[in-house]
């Protein structure tokens, strides 16, 4: 990862230079949509520092992160994976008959 531009007064990044993409294959649009619906309501705590875009296609959940600093990207990604794991395990436990992971 590389910082392309900084603010000369604070030496802080001025662009969304740190990126990470996550793809989770649920093999079912219905399940991917259920996970998406559960997670999309949780907004980023610092939207001025981290952006998260989610989408579902062909049974896959796609999540794109952008951040102004690596530490914000790491924290956001880590927190998201925790709730993604919880949502997935919940569907595995209580979605009997619809999940094919």
Domains with residue ranges and CATH for the chain: 18-94 (3.30.310.50)
* Residue 25 burial (C-beta neighbours within 10 Å; 0-12, 13-18, 19+): exposed
Give residue-wise pLDDT tens across range 13-54: 458 889 999 999 998 899 999 999 999 998 898 999 999 999
Q: Identify which has the larger pLDDT, 9 or 23.
A: 23
Asked whether residue 6 carries a pLDDT value surpassing 70, the answer given is no
Give residue-wise pLDDT tens across range 81-91: 999 999 999 98
């Amino acid at each position: 990862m590389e910082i392309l531009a900084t603010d000369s007064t604070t030496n802080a990044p001025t662009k969304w230079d740190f990126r990470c993409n996550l793809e989770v294959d649920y093999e079912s649009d219905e399940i991917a949509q259920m996970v998406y619906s559960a997670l999309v309501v949780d907004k980023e705590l610092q939207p001025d520092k981290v952006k998260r875009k989610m989408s579902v296609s062909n049974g896959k959940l796609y999540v794109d992160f952008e951040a102004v600093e690596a530490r914000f990207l790491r924290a956001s990604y880590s927190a998201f994976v925790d709730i993604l794991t919880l949502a997935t395990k919940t569907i595995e436990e209580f979605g009997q008959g619809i999940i094919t992971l």
